């Protein structure tokens, strides 16, 4: 009968069984004599389970009888376990229980179930109650039901057929509207280990995997390994479900599904590609246990997909260690050479191709780092192993502190952590050196912890700290825990071998220990001394002499034996003493312990071979004594040695080689850590701890030689960001070798180590480059074709510039940016003009100002034209940076040289605001990627074309000097926490203004200002621009300072509108919702409003909001909602804005921000922007 056929028959059977059970219930009730009931009206299937008296007879029987034949094997241990007098009364109790279960009262049922569960907990068999319990599976009372489930899961495997009775209840439960009931039904159903229901389980899992409730989906993920262990043939179908669940976007499911993945199909690493970035980003919000599983899995994943960040260093390292293998045989050396060549080649390759960390690799490292602060030791360990296996060497150090923290936890935790630290400290000693004292041993530590700490201390020992460590060791030697003392002596021995400076000190210390009373200590010391002396015996004949003297005092047999061995082995170094020792020993031979006697024979033999003149008689005497010893071992040895060393006519060819046999050079033992090379196991794993592969262990793969295609991780994104950023980027790199070349100088090693937030390194440079272009096109949202052309032109120029190598890179860059600023400026003023024409209320500025700006416009246009001309003449030197531009045009030749000197060494703030858009900020790589994605869809990103200018200094009060400022919305590259303020100085006076600079800055606490570089000369009628940075500390407090010229000082102040205190960030719709969900309550401000008539379409809303605040648009499915996101510049708090439109211009504005003051002010500003 196949499983399916059985299944089809099930309903009939089940119905019958239920009937019988019911009839019996009735019978019992009528009978009202529970004690007698088991005997009355028994059915065939039922008799197999009952009554208890029968159990004794049946135990050990076949157990196959009847449909519900219980597993009899289970009974045998049970009867022992039951133990005590309670067992005798049990049969009766079971009848009680059955009666209670059959009653109508829930309270009685509950009481019975509680007692049954208590039996299970104590390991007593309760399987005979199965039929009585299983009926209650449909019980309405939740408490009873829960306990029935507990019972069912425990015994279903033993009573498969009966268990089928419950299935229909669960199937009903799977359809329940309540998600908790659905989940619990699936949980129990999948826990019932009955093979017949595999198809039902499969179906249930598949359905639950697409359930609306994430909790049910999580349960489905949990059910997958259960089904897999029940029937491995379902693997393929289960993998489909796993694939589906892996795509799930909730944190609740993520951990569970990865666990299922690890148990069912850990080899299918390809399933992870598409979900990699999502998993990285979700990680911090996943529950702790899921984090552990995900991190471990991602470690393996990263090892298959990314390049070794330490490629250059590890090659060097290995090259170094190659020299160390001189212990090996000659053949090995040949191989080594070949290997070395290979390595050298590889190294050369690596040098040619500088290592660039994959942004996804970086993403993983960055997103796991905060978890080092987790309270869960397993999570911390998981992150630590991830860093150890994946991070560039320079970054691994961060894990040390967290691991040391775990050492203050429970001793079991310490035990595991220390094992891992021991392995790590061999590879990366420097990492733990600052925490040396944390590994000091307390007398209350359990021995195993002590030994591990000792191991770590030994690994950490070096020339500088060895004296401290040895002093510490001296304390340990006095400990009462003798195993620990022995381990300490071993440790001293290892320190002595590793650090030649202290070898003598250690030896002397150990020699002193030889007089210790404790046999173990002495034996251990002698053994260690022996090992140390073997390394360079010729140097230490005095120690051997000293030890020879000790034979008079030391009584510990093991120590005596070791000393004798030493003297025998190095008898040539102590030619005078050795025979004398033998003489003494011969005297006391009969009183010695066996091991000592054996060594006396050895000593005698060796001396006979080297110095037969003096010792011939002594040897014969000893051998004669041994010949009559009680111990047969000693007698045998004596006979054997006599044959070997004393030549007789019978003795064969062997005696010729006696000297070779006895005095062969014995190799010095290598004292090395048992933890050496244990890191080929993934750290933190059970296999690592046992130093043996545990079942189900997944090998940590080696790094690939070349990185597999990274585009597999690209996720298909909604229409608006369809274009692959990666390809774009590559193109750009090809287009602009300019950047890569200049950065390339910083070299491969640096780039390998560079952190994302450091501006150096090719990774960040490429990021900045891309974002630079991003912000550029953001600016030019109007996207006029002419501008694009301009850009191309620029590109060409750059190339030309590159050829024209006379100019240093920085200058050309700065110059370019200043050009850009200028263009921007021009652009900015244009729309303003047009706006003021169309909308009168927008025109807030004073008349004089607008007229001024108009004149300015024409002026700057002219300027640009001029400049273009200049640019096209490539042979000519480039005009110098902005502030002095006018001047430089007039006196080009001389000034350009001068500028070089002035501006080269200290790049001014206005240099490169565009190019380093992201490099300093904390925006993640991923965000960086998506930013560039969104660049290609101008509609999604807010236009910031209309920058508002504010007056800083009026022409009249400024005595001819007028200053305007605007918030350029560019990141301020010298300090990411500052808001860039672009100032435009116009000299309307008839005389030149000199030495324009800032003085006497008065700020609220916490605020900071980065001044613009002094403008030396502003000729009459000219205009200059400069950028300064202000850190407003996320407040709208004004920054007050004095603007000074060579003649005057003006008190001025800059007060930012709240919208300028933020910078745009890119969020996806989901991220937005998630973040918004976390910023509820006090952090949320909602206002109703009526939109201005001109502002009823999406475009207008977007434009007005982004004008009011420096935010970026968040893509959104619905056209009724516009969302915007940003972060405050100083603290990086999220600012989320939602404008939901309704009919007839009604709308609702929601602002979510942790900083409530900013939120409130922002609401006011946006409200105004949208209603007017």
Partner 1 sequence: MIHSLFLINHLGDIFLEKHWKSVISRSVCDYFFEAREKAVDPENVPPVLQTPHHYLISIYRGKLFFLSVIQTEVPPLFVIEFLHRVADTFQDYFGGCSESVISDNVVIVYELLEEMLDNGFPLATESNVLKEMIRPPNILRSVVNTLTGTTVSAEIQGVIEACVKLSGMPDLTMSFMNPRLLDDVSFHPCVRFRRWESERILSFIPPDGNFTLMTYHISSQNLVAIPVYVKQSISFFEAGSCGRLDITIGPKQTMGKTVEDLKVTVHMPKAVLNANLTASQGNYTYDFTTKLLVWDIGKLNPQKLPNLRGSLSMQTGVPNPEENPSLNIDLKIQQLAISGLKVSRLDMYGETYKPFKGVKYVTKAGKFQVRT
Which residues ranging from 1063 to 1122 are in contact with partner 1 (CB under 8 A)? 1078, 1080-1083
- Contact flags string 441-480 toward partner 1, x per CB under 8 A: -xxx-xxx-----------------------x--x--xxx
609 binds partner 1 (CB under 8 A): no
Task: Determine which residue in the list 118, 344, 783, 862 makes contact with partner 1, applying CB under 8 A.
Answer: 118
As a whole number of angstroms, the distance between CA 459 and CA 680 comes to: 18
Beta-strand runs (E) in 992-1144: 993-1002, 1008-1010, 1015-1018, 1023-1031, 1039-1044, 1049-1054, 1062-1064, 1084-1090, 1112-1114, 1121-1128, 1134-1141
> How near is the Cβ of 811 to partner 1 at its closest, in Å?
36
The residues in 480-509 that bind partner 1, with binding defined as CB under 8 A, are 480
Single residue of 68, 69, 173, 225 touching partner 1 by CB under 8 A: 225
Least separation in angstroms between CB 367 and partner 1 = 11
User: Which single residue is written with the structure tokens 């071993």?
Assistant: 490
Residue 122 touching partner 1 (CB under 8 A): yes
Residues 385, 428: Cα–Cα separation, whole Å: 13
* Cβ proximity of 687 and 419 under 8 Å: no
- Nearest alpha carbon to residue 868 among 805, 900, 822, 814: 822
Q: Rank residues 661 and 1085 by Cβ distance to partner 1 and give the closer one.
A: 1085
Largest alpha-carbon pair distance within the chain?
A: 131
Contact 992, 958 (CB under 8 A): no
**For residues 517 and 650, which CB has a smaller minimum distance to partner 1 in the complex?**
517
To the nearest whole angstrom, how small is the minimum distance from the Cβ of residue 402 to partner 1?
A: 7
Task: Match 């001389």 to its residue by tokens.
Answer: 894
Location of structure tokens 């829960």 = 146
Question: Which segment (321-329, 433-441, 671-679, 798-806) binds partner 1 by CB under 8 A?
Answer: 433-441
- Residue 43 found at the interface with partner 1 (CB under 8 A): no
Q: Min. distance of Cβ 1130 from partner 1 in angstroms?
A: 9
d(CA 939, CA 304): 38
- From 282-290, 550-558, 831-839, 993-1001, span contacting partner 1 (CB under 8 A): 282-290
How many other C-beta atoms can be found within 10 angstroms of the C-beta atom of residue 350?
Answer: 21
Question: Which residue, 684 or 913, has its beta carbon nearer to partner 1?
Answer: 684
Applying CB under 8 A, among 193, 728, 948, 1074 the residue interacting with partner 1 is 193
Q: Which helix (H) or strand (E) holds 831?
A: helix 809-838
Among 31, 52, 74, 594, binds partner 1 (CB under 8 A): 74
CB atoms inside a 10 Å sphere around CB 760 = 16
CA distance 646 to 750: 70
**CB neighbour list of residue 744: distance below 8 Å, 6 or more residues apart:** 354, 762
Nearest approach, Cβ of 511 to partner 1 (angstroms)?
Answer: 17
Q: Minimum distance from CB of 76 to partner 1 (Å)?
A: 10
- Report the residue from 60, 575, 696, 701 that binds partner 1 according to the rule CB under 8 A: 696
121 binds partner 1 (CB under 8 A): yes
Is residue 187 involved in binding partner 1 (CB under 8 A)? yes
Question: Residue 614 contacts by C-beta under 8 Å, 6 or more apart in sequence?
Answer: 579, 607
Residue 1005 as a binder of partner 1 (CB under 8 A): the answer is no
Distance between CA atoms of residues 1155 and 321, nearest Å: 55
Among 135, 226, 453, 885, binds partner 1 (CB under 8 A): 226
Distances in whole angstroms, Cα of residue 26 to Cα of each of 37, 98, 141, 526, 655: 11, 13, 21, 84, 99
1150 to 1169, contacts with partner 1 by CB under 8 A? 1154
Strands 1008-1010 and 1023-1031: antiparallel
Please list every residue from 91 through 110 that binds partner 1, using CB under 8 A.
none
Angle between helix 594-610 and 577-588 (nearest 10)? 140
CB of 268 to partner 1, least distance (A): 17
Select the residue interacting with partner 1 from 3, 14, 25, 150 (CB under 8 A). 150
Stretch that binds partner 1, among 93-101, 320-328, 398-406, 424-432 (CB under 8 A): 398-406
**Which residue in the set 140, 324, 352, 410 belongs to the binding site for partner 1 (CB under 8 A)?**
410
Q: Is 202 in the site for partner 1 (CB under 8 A)?
A: no
> Does 652 interact with partner 1 (rule: CB under 8 A)?
no
Least distance CB 412 / partner 1 (angstroms): 4
Contact residues for 582 (Cβ-Cβ < 8 A; gap 6+): 600, 603, 604, 607, 615, 618, 619, 622
Site for partner 1 in 294-313 (CB under 8 A): 296
| Residue number, 188 or 1102, with CB nearest to partner 1 | 188
CB atoms near residue 262 (< 10 Å): 17
From candidates 32, 324, 352, 375, binder to partner 1 by CB under 8 A: 375
**Which CA distances in Å does 1052 have to 707, 962, 965, 999, 1038?**
56, 12, 11, 11, 10
Q: Does 194 bind partner 1 (CB under 8 A)?
A: no
CB of 1010 to partner 1, least distance (A): 20
Q: Which of 289, 621, 720, 1050 binds partner 1 (CB under 8 A)?
A: 289
Question: Which part of the chain contacts partner 1 (CB under 8 A), choosing from 406-414, 628-636, 738-746, 928-936?
Answer: 406-414
Please identify, using beta-carbon distances, which residue of 222 and 1104 lies nearer to partner 1. Answer: 222
Binding of partner 1 at residue 147 (CB under 8 A)? yes
Chain positions 516 to 555 lying near partner 1, rule: CB under 8 A, are 516-517
Dihedral of the CA atoms 793, 797, 799, 805 (nearest 10)? 180
235 touches partner 1 (CB under 8 A): no
Residues 542, 534: Cα–Cα separation, whole Å: 14
- In order of 164, 185, 205, the CA distances from 173 in angstroms are 15, 5, 13
- Residue 513 C-beta: closest distance to partner 1, Å: 11
Among 24, 234, 251, 256, binds partner 1 (CB under 8 A): 256
CA separation for the pair 752, 749 (Å, rounded): 5
Binding range to partner 1, per CB under 8 A, among 89-97, 493-501, 579-587, 1127-1135: 1127-1135
User: What is the smallest separation between the CB atom of 190 and partner 1, expressed in angstroms?
Assistant: 8
Sorted by sequence, the CB contacts under 8 Å of residue 858 that are 6+ apart come out as none
84 touches partner 1 (CB under 8 A): no
- C-alpha–C-alpha distance, residues 334 and 422, integer Å: 33
Which is nearer to partner 1, 212 or 480 (by Cβ)? 480
Radius of gyration of the CA atoms of the chain, in A? 42
- 70 vs 568, which CB is nearer to partner 1? 70
CB of 321 to partner 1, least distance (A): 29
Candidate ranges 73-81, 346-354, 598-606, 884-892; the one touching partner 1 (CB under 8 A): 73-81
Site size with partner 1, rule: CB under 8 A: 93
Window 858 to 877, contacts with partner 1 (CB under 8 A): none
C-alpha 896/C-alpha 907 separation (Å) is 16
CB of 242 to partner 1, least distance (A): 15
- The 10 Å Cβ neighbour count of residue 513 is 21
Give me the residue label for tokens 């100083």.
1130
Distance CA 108, CA 127 (A): 20
| Nearest CB to partner 1, comparing residues 541 and 698 | 698
| 72 lines the binding site for partner 1 (CB under 8 A) | no
CA distance 663 to 654: 14
């Amino acid at each position: 009968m196949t499983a399916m056929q059985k299944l089809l028959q099930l309903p009939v059977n089940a119905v019958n069984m239920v009937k019988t059970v019911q009839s019996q219930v009735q019978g019992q009730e009528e009978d009202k004599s529970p004690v007698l009931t088991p005997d009355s009206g028994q059915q065939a299937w039922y008799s197999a389970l009952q009554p208890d008296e029968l159990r004794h007879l049946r135990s050990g029987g076949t157990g196959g009888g009847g449909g519900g034949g219980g597993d009899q094997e289970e009974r045998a241990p049970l009867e022992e376990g039951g133990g005590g007098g309670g067992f005798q009364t049990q049969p009766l109790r079971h009848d009680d229980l059955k009666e209670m279960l059959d009653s109508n009262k829930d309270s009685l049922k509950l009481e019975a179930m509680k007692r049954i569960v208590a039996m299970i907990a104590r390991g007593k068999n309760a399987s005979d109650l199965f039929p009585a319990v299983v009926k209650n599976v449909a019980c309405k009372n939740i408490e009873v039901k829960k306990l029935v489930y507990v019972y069912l899961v425990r015994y279903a495997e033993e009573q498969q057929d009966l268990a089928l009775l419950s299935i229909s209840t669960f199937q009903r439960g799977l359809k329940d509207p309540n998600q908790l009931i659905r989940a619990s039904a699936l949980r129990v159903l999948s826990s019932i280990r009955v093979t017949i229901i595999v198809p039902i389980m499969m179906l249930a899992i598949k359905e639950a995997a697409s359930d609306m409730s994430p909790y049910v989906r999580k349960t489905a993920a949990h059910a997958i390994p259960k089904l897999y262990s029940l029937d491995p043939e379902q693997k393929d179908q289960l993998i489909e479900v796993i694939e589906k669940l892996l795509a799930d976007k909730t944190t609740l499911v993520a951990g569970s599904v990865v666990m299922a993945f690890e148990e069912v199909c850990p080899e299918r690493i390809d399933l992870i590609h598409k979900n990699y970035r999502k998993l990285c980003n979700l990680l911090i919000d996943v529950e702790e246990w899921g984090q552990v599983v995900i991190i471990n899995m991602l470690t393996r994943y990263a090892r298959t997909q990314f390049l070794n960040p330490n490629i250059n260093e590890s090659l060097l390292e290995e090259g170094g260690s190659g020299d160390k293998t001189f212990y090996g045989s000659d053949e090995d050396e040949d191989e080594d050479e070949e290997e070395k060549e290979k390595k050298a080649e590889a190294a050369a390759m690596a040098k040619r191709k500088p290592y660039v960390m994959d942004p996804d690799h970086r993403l993983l490292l960055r997103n796991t780092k905060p978890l080092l602060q987790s309270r869960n030791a397993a999570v911390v360990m998981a992150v630590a192993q991830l860093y150890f296996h994946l991070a560039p060497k320079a970054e691994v150090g961060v894990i040390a502190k967290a691991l040391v923290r775990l050492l203050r936890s429970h001793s079991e935790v310490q035990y595991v952590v220390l094992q891992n630290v021991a392995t790590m400290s061999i590879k990366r000693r420097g990492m733990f050196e600052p925490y040396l004292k944390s590994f000091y041993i307390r007398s209350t530590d359990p021995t195993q912890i002590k030994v591990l700490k000792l191991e770590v201390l030994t690994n950490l020992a070096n020339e500088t700290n060895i004296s401290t460590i040895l002093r510490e060791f001296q304390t340990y030697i006095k400990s009462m825990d003798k195993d620990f003392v022995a381990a300490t002596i071993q440790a001293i021995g290892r320190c002595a071998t590793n650090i030649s400076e202290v070898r003598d000190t250690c030896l002397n210390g150990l020699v002193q220990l030889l007089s210790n009373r404790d046999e173990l200590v002495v034996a251990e010391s002698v053994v260690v001394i022996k090992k140390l002396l073997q390394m360079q015996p010729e140097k230490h004949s005095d120690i051997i002499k000293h030890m020879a003297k000790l034979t008079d005092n030391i009584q510990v047999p093991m120590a005596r034996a070791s000393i004798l061995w030493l003297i025998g082995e190095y008898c040539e170094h102590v030619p005078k003493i050795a025979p004398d020792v033998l003489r003494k020993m011969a005297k006391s031979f009969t009183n010695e312990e066996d091991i000592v006697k054996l060594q006396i024979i050895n000593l005698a033999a060796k001396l006979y071979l080297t110095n037969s003149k003096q010792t011939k008689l002594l040897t014969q005497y000893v051998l004669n004594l041994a010949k009559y010893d009680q111990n047969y071992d000693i007698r045998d040895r004596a006979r054997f040695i006599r044959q070997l060393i004393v030549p007789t006519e019978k003795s064969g060819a062997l005696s010729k080689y006696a000297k070779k046999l006895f005095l062969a050079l014995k190799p010095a033992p290598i004292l090395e850590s048992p933890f050496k090379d244990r890191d080929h196991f993934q750290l933190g794993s059970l296999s690592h701890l046992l130093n043996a592969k545990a079942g189900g262990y997944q090998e940590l793969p080696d790094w690939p030689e070349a990185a597999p295609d990274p585009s597999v991780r690209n996720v298909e994104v909604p229409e608006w960001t369809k274009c692959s950023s990666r390809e774009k980027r590559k193109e750009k790199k090809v287009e602009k070798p300019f950047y890569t070349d200049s950065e390339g100088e910083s070299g491969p090693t640096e780039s390998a180590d560079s952190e994302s937030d450091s501006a150096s390194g090719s990774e960040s440079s490429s990021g900045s480059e891309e974002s630079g272009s991003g912000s550029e096109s953001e600016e030019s949202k109007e996207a006029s074709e002419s501008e694009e052309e301009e850009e191309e032109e620029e590109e060409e120029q750059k190339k030309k510039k590159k050829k024209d190598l006379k100019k240093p890179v920085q200058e050309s860059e700065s110059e370019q940016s200043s050009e850009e600023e200028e263009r921007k400026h021009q652009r900015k003023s244009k729309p303003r003009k047009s706006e003021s024409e169309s909308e009168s209320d927008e025109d807030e500025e004073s008349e004089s100002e607008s007229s001024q700006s108009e004149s300015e416009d024409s002026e700057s246009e002219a300027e640009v034209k001029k400049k273009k001309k200049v640019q096209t003449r490539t042979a000519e030197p480039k005009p110098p940076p902005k502030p002095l531009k006018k001047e430089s045009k007039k006196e080009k030749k001389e000034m350009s040289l001068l500028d070089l000197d002035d501006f080269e060494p200290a790049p001014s703030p206005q240099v490169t605001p565009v190019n380093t858009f992201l490099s300093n900020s904390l925006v993640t790589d991923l965000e960086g990627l998506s930013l560039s994605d969104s660049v290609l869809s101008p509609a999604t990103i807010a236009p910031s074309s209309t920058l508002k200018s504010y007056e800083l200094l009026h022409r009249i009060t400024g005595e001819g000097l007028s200053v305007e400022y605007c918030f350029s919305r560019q990141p301020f590259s010298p300090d990411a926490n500052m808001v860039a303020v672009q100032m435009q100085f116009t000299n309307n006076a008839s005389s030149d203004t000199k030495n324009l600079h800032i003085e006497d800055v008065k700020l609220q606490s916490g605020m900071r200002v980065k001044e613009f570089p002094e403008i030396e000369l502003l000729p009459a009628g000219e205009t200059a621009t400069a950028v300064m940075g202000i850190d407003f500390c996320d407040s709208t407090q004004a920054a007050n300072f004095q603007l000074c010229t060579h003649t005057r000082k003006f008190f001025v102040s800059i007060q930012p509108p709240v919208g300028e205190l933020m910078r745009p960030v890119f969020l996806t719709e989901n991220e937005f919702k998630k973040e918004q969900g976390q910023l509820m309550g006090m952090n949320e401000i909602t206002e109703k409003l009526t939109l201005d008539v001109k502002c009823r379409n999406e475009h207008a809303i977007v434009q007005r909001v982004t004008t009011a605040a420096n935010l970026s648009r968040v893509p959104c499915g619905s056209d009724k909602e516009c969302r915007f996101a940003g972060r405050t510049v100083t603290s990086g708090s999220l600012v989320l804005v939602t404008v939901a439109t309704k009919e007839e211009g009604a709308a609702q504005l929601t602002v979510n921000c942790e900083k409530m003051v900013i939120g409130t002010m922002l609401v006011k500003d946006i409200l105004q922007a949208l209603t007017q």
